[in-house]
Amino acid sequence: SQTIHQWPATLVQPVGSPLSLECTVEGTSNPNLYWYRQAAGRGLQLLFYSVGIGQISSEVPQNLSASRPQDRQFILSSKKLLLSDSGFYLCAWTPGGKSYEQYFGPGTRLTVT
Amino acid sequence: AQSVTQLGSHVSVSEGALVLLRCNYSSSVPPYLFWYVQYPNQGLQLLLKYTTGATLVKGINGFEAEFKKSETSFHLTKPSAHMSDAAEYFCAVSFMNRDDKIIFGKGTRLHILP
């Protein structure tokens, strides 16, 4: 069966510090991968998605970036965090083909101080 | 443009009462429809989905939803609410495209009153 992991689970970082969040999927190959953010009291905002290694599409211009160095690994990064980057970050995957539902990881709670 | 609207950001029902969470979508092509549930500080969990075929879809935890094309709706129901149903619920729609993006509604927080 497929599983998705995210780490760390929680993170407190000062403004201006770098960020690296990691997401990995097990039990599947060539998934589509997604990064979302949930700010407090708000819905889901799609940040990035990837349909293959090295292929990243950005939905929202900001100081975040994403990379996909391996088939089942998706990384969210920032060189300098802003207060507004605080939120709950969710990684998701979909097997593609005729399956369109997305499966979500447990999330990372990021607090920028 | 495709969109999803969830009516009511907060819904309160008494334990044992009917749960009805409303979702409407707009689309120019046949949609795939989903309901997700999110408990505090957790990821989203798929409750049920409609792709093709039977328009009444049954999901986990006793929830079901009915796709009504004429009303462009996909409302979520449960006959009898349980305290453990308190969570946030997201309706979502997807279309047959390569990037498999899903459009999510803004969510409805369900409160269960004792």
Q: What is the mean pLDDT of residues A49-64?
A: 88
pLDDT band at A20 (very low <50, low <70, confident <90, very high): very high
Q: To the nearest whole number, what is the mean pLDDT of chain A?
A: 92
Q: Is the pLDDT of residue B96 over 70?
A: no
Give the pLDDT of residue B97: 63
* Order of strands, sheet of B19-26, starting from the edge strand that comes earlier in the sequence: B3-7, B19-26, B73-78, B64-68, B56-58
Q: What is the mean pLDDT of residues B71-82?
A: 96
Residue A53 main-chain phi, psi, to 5 deg: -55, 130
Which of chain A's residues have a Cβ under 8 Å away from the Cβ of B94?
100-101
Q: Is the pLDDT of residue B98 over 60?
A: no
Angle at Cα A24 formed by Cα A104 and Cα A51, nearest 5°? 75
Query: Which member of B32, B95, B100 has the closest CB to residue A32?
Result: B100
Q: What is the mean pLDDT of residues B5-24?
A: 96
**B107, A43: Cβ pair inside 8 Å?**
yes
Query: Is A109 part of the contact surface with chain B (CB cutoff 8 Å)?
Result: yes
Q: How many CB pairs under 8 A join A and B?
A: 55
Q: Is the pLDDT of residue B66 over 60?
A: yes
Which amino acid makes up residue B88?
E
Which of chain A's residues have a Cβ under 8 Å away from the Cβ of B51?
98, 100
